[in-house]
Amino acid sequence: MKIIKGLILASLFMAQSLWAAVNINTADAEKIAAELKGIGLSKATAIVEYREANGPFKTIEQLTEVKGIGLKTVEQNRQEIQLN
């Protein structure tokens, strides 16, 4: 019984991790701000504006080209960021 409970909890944790990811090439500013650590609405809006002016992000590291977003913030959120 303990094994079954453990498997269920592990499955729920994995599913939650998948749901928490945010696609920075399609999400609106509110979604980006809600899902990423250290990204408020102002920075999330800057991400969307950068994307609209320059096209979709090709790499996660490209986020550092957005004013106010540094490599530390990118690394802190790497697991939650999707590009496609």
Please indicate, yes or no, if residue 37 is contained in any of the structural domains: yes
Count of alpha carbons within 13 angstroms of residue 39, beta-carbon side = 34
Please indicate, yes or no, if residue 10 is contained in any of the structural domains: no
- pTM value is 0.76
What the block records as the tokens of 55 is 């096209």
Please indicate, yes or no, if residue 15 is contained in any of the structural domains: no
Q: What is the CATH number of the domain that holds 71?
A: 1.10.150.280
Spatial distance between the Cα atoms of 75 and 14, rounded to a whole number of angstroms: 20
Please indicate, yes or no, if residue 2 is contained in any of the structural domains: no
Q: Is residue 58's pLDDT more than 90?
A: yes
Residue-number span of the structural domain to which 28 is assigned: 22-82
Spatial distance between the Cα atoms of 34 and 57, rounded to a whole number of angstroms: 19
Q: Is residue 79's pLDDT more than 90?
A: yes
How confident is the model over 19-30, as a mean pLDDT?
Answer: 91
Q: How confident is the model at residue 30 (pLDDT cuts 50, 70, 90)?
A: very high
Spatial distance between the Cα atoms of 71 and 60, rounded to a whole number of angstroms: 10
pLDDT of the residue at 53: 98
3-22 pLDDT tens trace = 766 556 555 555 444 456 99
What is the count of structural domains for the chain?
Answer: 1
**Residue 63 phi, psi dihedral angles, 5° rounding:** -60, -25
Please indicate, yes or no, if residue 71 is contained in any of the structural domains: yes
